[in-house]
Amino acid sequence: MLILTLVVLSFCTACHKKEVKVEVKNDAYLLLIKKQGKFGFCDRTGTMVVPAQYENASLFSEGLAAVRQNGKDGYIDTKGNMVIPPRFDAGSIFREGLAAVKNGNRWSYIDQSGKQITESRFIATFAFLDGLSSVVVVEKDGYKAGFIGKSGTFTITPRFFDASNFSEGLASVRIGKKHGYIDKTGKMVIEVQFDAANPFREGQALVKINGVYGKVGYIDHTGKMVVPAIYDNGTNFSEGVASVKKDNKWLLIDKSGKQIINQQYDSATIFTEGLAPVKVGGKVGYIDKQGKMVIEPQFEAGGIFVNGLAPVKVGEKCVYIDKKGKIVIKADFEWDGRVIDQYTSYYLTFPH
């Protein structure tokens, strides 16, 4: 199968705490790879920078990556130095200077020095976006989701059954069985009415109506349905294009709902840097927005392009190609769908 995460979505500092300066890094500088069952990092020439020695690892974000050693997670810098010792049961990526870490069955947030910033009280967390993070806590009437600021205090009280991250100033929340959208003050600006609701991307959000087996369409920031809910499934918009499923086939549409290519596909895809992976005759190639096959189908699977490179599967190995289809990183790396999913989800979720 074409392995893609399509992001259908879905973690009181003290008064005298010293501010930690976040050093902005190029997150695509090092590539997460798997070799002989272990995880490490290579640069964009394929040269190993951090040996494949960890039980698990995240992508680099803001100059740090979570790695697992002897069953515990810590953080390394881009030179492979362990800057936060492995002492957590789980660790997330850093965003806006903070990362969620788990001890036992509760999550908290740490800064880039490893100092704990919030209480260990969260059941579930998300990364910070625009100064806010959605979290889940245990209330008297059960699990509830709300939003905290970087001090760990609630800016939007936990009163929702579920909540997504903020995107384009709005966040999807669930009350009972229905979803709507709130702004950063917690005000409901698009009333609860949808059976599923994705974060906004490029001015539109994928929503579902008419029950679990209903149809999906796209709304704008006012809640108006701008692409009719006539599809069985869909992806978020990327570069002005979304994949939608109808009659067991996937089509590519623009923001008006118009089909941009007179072609149907067996699986969904996403455009990045002008190209999208598609599967034809059991092999994956890459098309442009006119439907032209720019890179002929020849790979067992493929991911999105980021900074001019895309991971593809050759046999059971993972290599990287440029936008002409030339293999530019060929090493003894293993193909791991979870790594590709992480790679795809990260670059489609967070601004760069």
pLDDT given at position 302: 97
100 - beta bridge partners? 109
pLDDT-wise least confident of 25-34, 68-77, 86-95, 277-286: 25-34
Q: Which of 21, 23, 45, 41 is nearest to 31 (CA)?
A: 41
pLDDT given at position 29: 77
Cα–Cα dist 14/211, whole Å: 46
Cα–Cα dist 40/53, whole Å: 6
User: What is the average pLDDT value for the chain, to the nearest integer?
Assistant: 91
pLDDT at position 22 over 90: no
DSSP-derived secondary structure letter, 262: S
pLDDT given at position 65: 97
pLDDT at position 24 over 60: no
Determine the average pLDDT of the residues in 186-215. 97
Determine the average pLDDT of the residues in 73-98. 97
pLDDT given at position 188: 98
The full DSSP string for 105-123 is: TEEEEE-TTS-B-S-S-BS
What own/partner pairs with CB < 8 Å and gap ≥ 24 does 215-220 have?
216/244, 218/242, 218/255, 218/257, 219/190
Amino acid at 252: L
pLDDT given at position 5: 33
Cα–Cα dist 221/301, whole Å: 35
Query: 156 in the Ramachandran plot: left (φ > 0), alpha (ψ -120 to 50) or beta?
Result: beta
pLDDT given at position 351: 67
Segment (H or E) for 194: strand 188-194
If one compares 294 and 2, the residue with the highest pLDDT of the two is: 294
pLDDT at position 189 over 90: yes
Question: Which residues have CB under 8 Å from 224's CB, separation 6+?
Answer: none
Cα–Cα dist 260/25, whole Å: 36
**Could you count the other beta carbons within 10 Å of the beta carbon of residue 181?**
28
pLDDT given at position 352: 61
CB-based contact 235:270 (threshold 8 Å): yes
Determine the average pLDDT of the residues in 133-140. 95
CB-based contact 111:20 (threshold 8 Å): yes
CB-based contact 284:300 (threshold 8 Å): yes
pLDDT bucket at 288, cuts 50 / 70 / 90: very high
pLDDT given at position 212: 87
∠ CA(197), CA(161), CA(347), 5° rounding? Answer: 45
Determine the average pLDDT of the residues in 267-287. 96
Which domains does the chain carry?
A: 31-349 (2.130.10)
pLDDT at position 9 over 60: no
Percent of the chain with pLDDT over 70: 91
pLDDT given at position 279: 94
Q: What share of the chain is helix, strand, coil (3-state, %, to 5)?
A: 5, 50, 45
pLDDT bucket at 26, cuts 50 / 70 / 90: low
Determine the average pLDDT of the residues in 229-241. 97
Distances (CA, A) of 17 to 85, 111, 151, 185, 259: 21, 11, 10, 26, 54
Question: Which residues have CB under 8 Å from 167's CB, separation 6+?
Answer: 129, 199, 200, 201
Sign of CA dihedral 220, 224, 228, 230: positive
Determine the average pLDDT of the residues in 96-106. 97
CB-based contact 40:58 (threshold 8 Å): no
Determine the average pLDDT of the residues in 124-136. 95
pLDDT tens string 310-323: 999 999 999 999 99
- And the tokens for 351? 């601004």
At 324, phi and psi to the nearest 5?
Answer: -100, 0
pLDDT given at position 18: 34
Is 346 in a helix, a strand, or coil? Answer: helix
CB-based contact 68:85 (threshold 8 Å): no
